[in-house]
Amino acid sequence: EPEVTQTPSHQVTQMGQEVILRCVPISNHLYFYWYRQILGQKVEFLVSFYNNEISEKSEIFDDQFSVERPDGSNFTLKIRSTKLEDSAMYFCASAGTGNEKLFFGSGTQLSVL
Amino acid sequence: GESVGLHLPTLSVQEGDNSIINCAYSNSASDYFIWYKQESGKGPQFIIDIRSNMDKRQGQRVTVLLNKTVKHLSLQIAATQPGDSAVYFCAERTYSSASKIIFGSGTRLSIRP
């Protein structure tokens, strides 16, 4: 069964450093998403992406965040200058033509020290 | 507003019994609802969805009920099994923000042998 893959599974970084989280969505999907989940809390929407542009973003997704689909297979989330409060599990998701049934990856656990 | 929440944070059921997980939502403009299952260390997994023009939908061992009058959503799991142990999230989407699925707070379901 096709799946969304995310790398790395764990990322440790120093506060103020830039990080790039990588995702390979399901190959024929058109809609891409990033969510995050702080330990023990709910899954929070960050951004959705379609047709090479951001469709929607949340208040969390400020100027420190950016997304990119650099080629036909990868979807990345960049945090320019990480803060302690950016520590969370980051999930990538993709959806097909219906933009409804989201398939999630296993996440990247980001720890900012 | 965009508020999707759950009545109970934890639910413990006997193996073989039916489980009912409840969810309240506040946005009357929401037109699509989804239940996700999240096992430890994994991303959310789609279980079942329902549109606002329906009040019941059944899947394999799962049923979702939607009561728009009181803005209430429930997930029923028949003959609960140990593999059903997970955190369950309800999520919603509004027609005006079709690419933004918002998650509720989650209910942890544990199964007693």
Q: Please check whether residue A108 touches B, CB under 8 A.
A: no
Beta-carbon separation of A101 and B106 below 8 A: no
Name the residue in chain B with its Cα closest to that of A41.
B105
d(CA B45, CA A104): 7
One digit per residue, the tens of pLDDT, for chain A of length 113 reads: 789 999 999 999 999 999 999 999 999 899 999 999 998 788 999 999 999 999 999 999 999 999 999 887 899 999 999 999 999 999 999 998 776 789 999 999 999 99
Q: Which residue in B has a C-alpha nearest to residue A30's C-alpha?
A: B99
